[in-house]
């Protein structure tokens, strides 16, 4: 047995009410001895505009045409009544409800400035309804106009409020997608570019060793194989995030931690470059996960920049310390800035910019510059890590 959703019940009730009210309008017109076809034309046009299903609506039936067409027919009907000597033509709740529904659609769904134009047209058509019966702007018309203005204001206000919610939701979705794209771009830079740069550097080393030390090629080729495997794995994870838009997609985004820094440093070593990790005993794994991930990214970006901009470095040292309630990450090299990488592999210089945003977002600070009192470069980051 299928259950009916509350939204479906409300829609069904609304459709039934509009149809019943339209039929009541026709009965009123017949009771006054009027030909029913003018009222029927207005009511049918309005019902079609309001009740036409979204999935079956043709493209030419835009919200502007839906809301302006029936209202224009209603205004023409009222004008025709005033310009002829016909007896008073009554109006009923059906046309009132239809015009209010069209006003709601215009304010909420029509693009600006059509929302204002179509909304005004629907409101004018509604305010002119009493004129058909009283044939004058005096008598009871002001009282009906006051009621009409109240209904128009209430309907337009509700529609405008829902339109603002729709706009906020759209902006939130756009911002979320933009943030997701930025995060994915950061993943591609941090992980895939890191491994691909390592492949390029080790390939250059292998070419040199093929001429001078062919017997020592195996460790270099093994490093290339490992870097390529990691690059493919990172690419698969990132593509998985792109394909999956669910909330669990972010959980599969490649991240690192303090334990991963050891593997990162170990994998960076090559026959011509020594990499060492100094981790103070005070640095434990109880550091918040987002801080660990940011620390991992700092080390990763710093090592990638060594390969890109300081290929002549012979020693790279990574320090992890925890003075007080902060986690300190420091990466130092003794390179002079010499590199043999192609110009296209140097990167666009946005790595440290992205790192600065990551670090400062966590309440930390990032500094990069020449080492004090010696050759080489240093990248230093400090994060609030909580009390031990």
pLDDT tens-digit readout, 358-382:
788 778 898 988 887 767 889 999 9
DSSP, residue by residue, 84-147 = S-PPP----HHHHHHHHHHHHHHHHHSPTTHHHHHHHHHHHHHHTHHHHHH-SSSTTHHHHHHH
Residue 332: helix, strand or coil by DSSP?
Answer: strand
Please provide the average confidence, as pLDDT, over all residues in the chain: 77
387 vs 175, which has greater pLDDT? 175
Distance CA 54, CA 58 (A): 9
Q: Write the pLDDT tens digit of every residue in 44-82.
A: 888 888 888 877 888 888 889 989 999 998 888 888 877
The answer to whether the beta carbons of residues 341 and 307 sit under 8 Å apart is yes
The answer to whether the beta carbons of residues 46 and 99 sit under 8 Å apart is yes
Residue in 325, 212, 184, 202 with CA at minimum distance from that of residue 267: 202
β-bridge pairing 274-279 and 315-321: parallel
Q: What token pair was written down for 92?
A: 């009923």
Mean per-residue pLDDT, 144-161: 90
Distance CA 194, CA 369 (A): 20
The answer to whether the beta carbons of residues 304 and 290 sit under 8 Å apart is no
What Rg, from alpha-carbon coordinates, does the chain have?
36
Q: Which CATH number fits domain 256-388: 3.40.50.300, 3.30.360.10, 3.30.565.10, 3.40.190.10?
A: 3.30.565.10
Distance CA 171, CA 40 (A): 42
Residues spanned by CATH 3.30.565.10 within the chain?
256-388
CA atoms within a 13 Å half-sphere pointing along the CA-CB vector of 176: 10
Residue 188 has pLDDT above 80, yes or no: no
Q: What percent of the chain has pLDDT over 70?
A: 69
Distance CA 62, CA 192 (A): 47
């Amino acid at each position: 047995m299928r259950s009916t959703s509350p939204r479906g019940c409300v829609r069904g009730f609304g459709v039934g009410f509009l149809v019943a009210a339209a039929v009541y309008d026709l009965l009123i017109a017949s009771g006054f001895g009027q030909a029913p076809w003018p009222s029927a034309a207005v009511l049918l046009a309005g019902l079609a505009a309001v009740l036409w299903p979204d999935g079956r609506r043709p493209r030419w039936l835009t919200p502007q045409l839906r809301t302006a067409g029936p209202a224009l027919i209603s205004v023409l009907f009222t004008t025709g009544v005033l310009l002829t000597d016909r007896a008073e033509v009554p109006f009923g709740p059906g046309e009132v409800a239809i015009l209010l529904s069209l006003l709601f659609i215009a304010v909420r769904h029509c693009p600006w400035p059509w929302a204002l134009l179509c909304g005004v047209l629907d409101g004018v058509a509604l305010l002119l309804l009493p004129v058909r019966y009283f044939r004058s702007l005096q008598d009871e018309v002001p009282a009906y106009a006051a009621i009409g203005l109240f209904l128009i204001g209430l309907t337009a206000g509700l529609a405008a409020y829902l339109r603002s919610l729709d706009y906020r939701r759209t902006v939130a979705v756009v911002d979320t997608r933009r943030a997701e794209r930025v995060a994915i771009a950061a993943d591609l830079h941090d992980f895939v570019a890191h491994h691909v740069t390592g492949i390029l550097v080790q390939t250059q080393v292998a070419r040199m060793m093929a001429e001078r030390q062919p017997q020592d090629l195996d460790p270099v080729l093994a490093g290339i194989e490992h870097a390529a495997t990691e690059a493919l794995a990172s690419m698969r994870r990132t593509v998985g995030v792109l394909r999956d838009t669910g909330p669990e997609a972010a959980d599969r985004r490649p991240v690192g931690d303090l334990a991963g820094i050891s593997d990162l440093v170990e994998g960076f070593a090559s026959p011509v470059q020594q990499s060492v990790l100094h981790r103070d005993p005070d640095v434990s794994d109880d550091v918040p996960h987002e801080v660990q991930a940011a620390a991992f990214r700092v080390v990763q970006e710093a090592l990638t920049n060594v390969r890109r901009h300081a290929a002549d470095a012979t020693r790279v040292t990574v320090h992890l310390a925890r003075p007080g309630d902060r986690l300190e990450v420091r990466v130092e090299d003794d390179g002079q800035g010499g590199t043999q990488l192609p110009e296209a592999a140097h990167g666009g210089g946005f790595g440290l910019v992205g790192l600065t945003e990551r670090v400062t977002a966590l309440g930390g600070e990032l500094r990069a510059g020449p080492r004090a009192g010696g050759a080489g470069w240093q990248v230093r980051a400090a994060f609030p890590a909580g009390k031990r």
